[in-house]
Amino acid sequence: MALPVIVQGGVQTAAHGIIQDPAGSAIGARNFNGGNASGAIYQHFNNLPDPEDHLAYIPDMPPGASAFNESKGAGRRILHSHSPFLRGSPANGICRGEALASLVNTYINAFLVSAERSQDLGNDAQLLNLVPISASLYANSFAARHPGWKVSHLDQTYTITAIQMASAVAAHRSLNVPKLCLYYYDSEVCKTAEKIFTFFAID
């Protein structure tokens, strides 16, 4: 089971593949308001010169679910995953388990919906550009600020564990998971992620 490739930068810059949007406020709305990764995605695609490439309405869906919008152009690559709101305290074991389960389910749903759309996406279905789901505002008290970080962010261990567990579930269901990239925008957060990921290395 391959680990995702860590990429430092904005996921909206991915030239190929499916792009995951950690959506929140834009779900079921008639506008594309959002911050952080979501805001960057909406601004990038909705400012492309060809209106056909712009994003279309994101359907209403519960937290943890994923869906593609109805764009017919470049925006069709965007997979909107409704970020779950992590509740409780990371000091509580039950809360930690519930938070991890919410993230695992979100990534599983992202894999399933991506596979269902694979024929329509062609070569773009061979790469899934992921982001840390519920990484800032939706992380609630699970967001931490470490020395050197400019932002509060979900501990990267939650993200990589959730992706690996979701990949294992997908394999159990004989679902083909494409090549994975995981984008971190902040350079210092990305460096920490790269260090943590070495503990997950599989020979």
Portion of the chain with pLDDT greater than 70, in percent: 98
Report the candidate in 32, 123, 117 with the shortest Cα–Cα distance to residue 68. 117
**Within 10 Å of residue 123's Cβ, how many Cβ atoms?**
8
CATH of the domain at 96: 3.40.220.10
C-alpha R_g of the chain? 16
Domain residue limits at 124 = 5-200
Task: Supply the pLDDT for residue 201.
Answer: 63
Count CA within 13 A, CB hemisphere, residue 30: 0
pLDDT level of residue 125 (50, 70, 90 thresholds) = very high
The answer to whether 55 and 70 are in contact (CB under 8 A) is no
Q: Is the pLDDT of residue 202 over 60?
A: no
Q: Coil, helix or strand for 15? A: coil
Q: Is the pLDDT of residue 131 over 60?
A: yes
Alpha-carbon distance of 30 to 155, in angstroms, equals 32
Task: Supply the pLDDT for residue 169.
Answer: 92
Q: Which two tokens stand for residue 144?
A: 């931490």
The count of structural domains within the chain is 1
pLDDT level of residue 173 (50, 70, 90 thresholds) = confident
